[in-house]
Amino acid sequence: MKKILVIGSAGQIGTDLTLTLRKLFGNENVVASDIRYPSDEVLDSGIFETLNVMKPEQLVEIIYTHNITEIYHLAAILSGNAEKDPEFAWNLNMGGLFNVINVARDNQVRRVFWPSSIAAFGPNSQKTDTPQYDIMDPTTVYGISKLAGERWIEYYNNRYDMDIRSLRY
């Protein structure tokens, strides 16, 4: 049985994803988590755990408490806010990703999903029918972190034979 953890469940995508996964797999099989409280709909429909993705020990505890087999990692500082404090955004976006994939690797979590972004492209990328492998020259800290994250998950897939999946939104 899948036991899913959604990190970043208080955000717009996290809220919709959590509710959809609960409809598909059952409320008791999808644990919502975030550093802040999500909508009442998410809180009332299933399990919620407060999680600071920068504290891997919290993540390990949630994995063991709920027998987590899959993680959807959505926690990030997005473009506009990231530019206000680039170093903090980098530390959260990349440090959070490393915490999730390292904890997943060390605790036999079978699958991790992590969204990337078209922000990984840049001004010199092809504008229409953009191929998967094109010039990647992001101009924001968010885009830079997404491009770096794509490379890191590719490395973890190859080096540790982990099932980490990503999609550029």
Q: Which two tokens stand for residue 163?
A: 């099932």
From 37, 72, 133, 142, active-site residue: 142
Assess whether 142 carries a catalytic annotation.
Answer: yes
* Token code pair at residue 141: 């800290």
User: How, if at all, do strands 70-73 and 48-50 pair?
Assistant: unpaired
- Residue 73, classed as helix, strand or coil, is strand
C-alpha distances (whole Å) from 86 to each of 16, 35, 74, 107 are: 27, 20, 18, 31
Length reported for the chain = 169
The alpha helices in 26-140, defined as continuous H runs, are 40-45, 56-66, 79-84, 86-106
Active site residues: 142
